[in-house]
Structure 1
Amino acid sequence: MSVEATTERVLRLLALLQRRPSWTAAELAAELGVTDRSVRRDVERLRALGYPVHATAGVGGGYQLGAGSRLPPLLLDEEAIATAVSLRMASGGTVAGAGEAALRALAKLDQVMPPRLRAEVRAVHGATETLVGPGVEIDAELLVTLARACRDAVRVRFRYAARDGAERERTVEPVRMVATARRWYLMAWDVDRDGWRTFRLDRMREVVATTWRFRPREHPDPVAYVQRSVTEAPYRYLARVRLRARAGEVRELVPPQVARVEDDRDGWCVLVVGGVDLDWLAVHIARLGFEAEVLEPPELREAAAQLARRVAALSLPGQTA
């Protein structure tokens, strides 16, 4: 039997072992169409590659896949493709150094995959382009520090640059990091200000995880809280507008880091969006193309009316907007 055929069979054996907790040698032999002796040899091949396959003798015994101590080099079909695509996406991401690390991992993955899988992964790559928008790179060590602090429930101390540029020392109890297409945020309890806060990771300096453990508090949903913070807090105006559209239709047009969309009744939804300029808000809401009703602020209605008059004047010959 060829090496490729043997590799294919060992992959199938691995897939079976991952499918359920325990198999007898006879069951595996029947599934693979081989003898019990071949199953034992293939189990030894998996063990040599780093997979801890446990064997139990006697009635009711069999083979069981345990937790490994090192990363095995073999992957199932769907795992190989998903891993390769994820690594390719990471090569253009917002974590400093992750691009080079992802490309190195891709090269190693390409070396250990069977030829058939390698061809399928390359087909996916060849048919795919990545459009990556501008984002702020975050140091991978910072992510690890904050992730461990969230996991271990220890306070974090850092210097934070506010929107006005002033830096202040903050001490927080971290809960979760939330990533958008462009930025990373930390949701945490601000010890000095006695409340929940959102912090941009690219504004954090001299981040240190302390040894002070804290008891986790009841907290809002991190994704919803961060979205509310980034779409509302930084802006002078906060608009609430009812749109005659399903919430899903509007979410397809408006990124979650730009605005929040709430379900409403009778085929309507509510768009909550912040802005520093009322004319800008009016233009972007109008460009969505849905029938709209301004709920607040009242100044937005007047800004929209003035904009409508100026736009209408543009369509008249000899008129000045």
Structure 2
Amino acid sequence: MARTAGRSLELLSLLQAADRWSGPALAARLGVSVRTLGRDIDTLRELGYPVHASGGRDSTYRLGAGSRLPPLVLDGEQAVAVSLALQTSPTSVLGLREAAERALATLARVMPAPLRAQVDATRVTTIRNVWEFSAPPIAPDVLSAVGDAVRRSHVLRHDVLRPDGSRPEPHDPDFRPPLRVEPHHLALWAGRWYLVAFDLDRRAWAVFRVDRIHPLSPTGQPFVRRSLPGGDVARFVRSSPDRGDTPAAWQCLGRAVLELPADVVARWAPGGSVIERVDGGRTCITVGAWSWAGIAGILATFDVDLTDVQPAELRAACHTLASRFRTT
């Protein structure tokens, strides 16, 4: 019985490692007959693994998706990788921290001693503070609805929430009709989820904060996927000034106008900064830090002239740093 169980686990590992196997090749790898292989395939099916066969003596086998989650088999490297990922996962989705801790405990209980020792040797204490992820956590059902529309290539209808998470009513001055977009990509940057989509009303590409999206009923309307300008999702998100961002909750918050185009400022600004076009060659940036000198240092990295620096504390910090640098 133990040998049969071990062979079933080895068979499952082989099916997970390749898209398709021929029956004779699988039997040879396991050192059994084709008939015994068939019984082992039936055992996996009884456990809930959907193994599909092409039929005939020279059947090919592949592992498909089922209707429920069966037990998983991980090799040593996969188990360690999953353990580290669970320990360091961000809390940008509401309620997943507790689920990650339960999954980590489950994994640790069934690990062989050598693997558990390897994981214990890389035990991580993740230190977070209230400003690290300045966006509010996203409800799993919102992320699921948006992700499903991306996966299915279905038009998404959604309202845009206020920064405080409230939903404007039709009589409110900031009310907007529901948007219709073709959702193409989800991206996670600086603890914030973004949706890259083609806005069907504006006929233009746009970036939306997912925590500001209120999905409406699924449309079921398919669309043909478009080519993203530049082809690089990360670069597109970083270089898009209008991402729906609001200033992060920092101890100090300042603003200045830079002699640079908005797409350049957006690409190099810290996550959570607010970027606003002033005109074709100038941009207003609102950014936070632990100190006024920290904001002045961020502004200095752009290496361009500054105007309209606010508030007075930030202007004073800029003058103080300039005096210090002159004496070096």
The answer to whether the superposition gives a TM-score over 0.5 is: yes
Q: Per the alignment, in what secondary structure is the counterpart of residue 219 of structure 2?
A: strand
Q: Per the alignment, in what secondary structure is the counterpart of residue 95 of structure 1?
A: coil
* Aligned residue type for 2:179: T
Q: Per the alignment, in what secondary structure is the counterpart of residue 213 of structure 1?
A: coil
* Residues 1:255 and 1:62: Cα distance change in structure 2 (over 3 Å): farther
Among 161, 170, 181, the alignment partner of 1:173 is: 181
Among 229, 235, 243, the alignment partner of 1:224 is: 235
- 5 Å matches for 1:56-75? 56-58=55-57, 61-69=58-66, 70-75=68-73
Structure number with the higher strand fraction is 1
Which is further off, 130-139 or 188-197? 188-197
- 5 Å matches for 1:176-191? 176-190=185-199
* Residues 1:215 and 1:28: Cα distance change in structure 2 (over 3 Å): closer
The residue number in structure 1 matching 2:138 is 138
The residue number in structure 1 matching 2:311 is none
Q: Which structure 1 residue ranges, 5 or more long, are not aligned?
A: 241-250, 260-271, 316-321
Q: CA deviation at 1:226?
A: 1.8
* Residues 1:178 and 1:14: Cα distance change in structure 2 (over 3 Å): same
Give CA deviations for 1:186-235 in whole Å, capped at 9, x if unaligned: 2334455554333223334x431453837455543443222123699976
* Aligned residue type for 1:82: A
- 8 Å Cα contact 2:157/2:215 also seen in 1: yes
CA distance in 2, matches of 1:38, 1:16: 16
CA distance in 2, matches of 1:208, 1:86: 32
CA distance in 1, matches of 2:269, 2:87: 23
* Aligned residue type for 1:202: D
* Residues 1:174 and 1:68: Cα distance change in structure 2 (over 3 Å): closer
CA distance in 2, matches of 1:279, 1:256: 15
- 5 Å matches for 1:153-168? 153-161=154-162, 167-168=174-175
The residue number in structure 1 matching 2:40 is 42
| 1:207 matches 2:207 | no
CA distance in 1, matches of 2:243, 2:295: 13
* Residues 1:198 and 1:297: Cα distance change in structure 2 (over 3 Å): farther
CA distance in 1, matches of 2:220, 2:142: 18
The residue number in structure 1 matching 2:251 is none
Q: Per the alignment, in what secondary structure is the counterpart of residue 51 of structure 1?
A: coil
- 8 Å Cα contact 1:95/1:138 also seen in 2: yes
Give CA deviations for 1:152-171 in whole Å, capped at 9, x if unaligned: 422312143269x9843341
- 8 Å Cα contact 2:80/2:118 also seen in 1: no
- 8 Å Cα contact 1:160/1:168 also seen in 2: no
CA distance in 2, matches of 1:211, 1:34: 51
Q: CA deviation at 1:173?
A: 0.3
* Aligned residue type for 1:140: P
Give the structure-2-normalised TM-score.
Answer: 0.63
- 8 Å Cα contact 2:153/2:222 also seen in 1: no
CA distance in 1, matches of 2:8, 2:73: 10
- Give the structure with higher Rg (CA): 1
- 5 Å matches for 1:92-171? 92-109=90-107, 113=110, 115-116=111-112, 120-121=115-116, 123-129=118-124, 130-132=126-128, 134-135=132-133, 136-150=136-150, 151-161=152-162, 167-169=174-176, 170-171=178-179
Q: How many residue pairs are counted as aligned between the two chains?
A: 273
CA distance in 2, matches of 1:202, 1:224: 21
* Residues 1:16 and 1:188: Cα distance change in structure 2 (over 3 Å): closer
Give CA deviations for 1:38-65 in whole Å, capped at 9, x if unaligned: 544433332222223327333xx04512
- Percent identity reads 29
The residue number in structure 2 matching 1:21 is 20
Give the structure-1-normalised TM-score.
Answer: 0.64
* Residues 1:282 and 1:46: Cα distance change in structure 2 (over 3 Å): same
Q: CA deviation at 1:138?
A: 0.7
- 8 Å Cα contact 2:91/2:97 also seen in 1: yes
Q: CA deviation at 1:311?
A: 0.3
- 8 Å Cα contact 1:231/1:257 also seen in 2: no
Q: Which structure 2 residue ranges, 5 or more long, are not aligned?
A: 167-172, 246-254, 261-266, 274-282, 309-314
Q: Per the alignment, in what secondary structure is the counterpart of residue 238 of structure 2?
A: helix
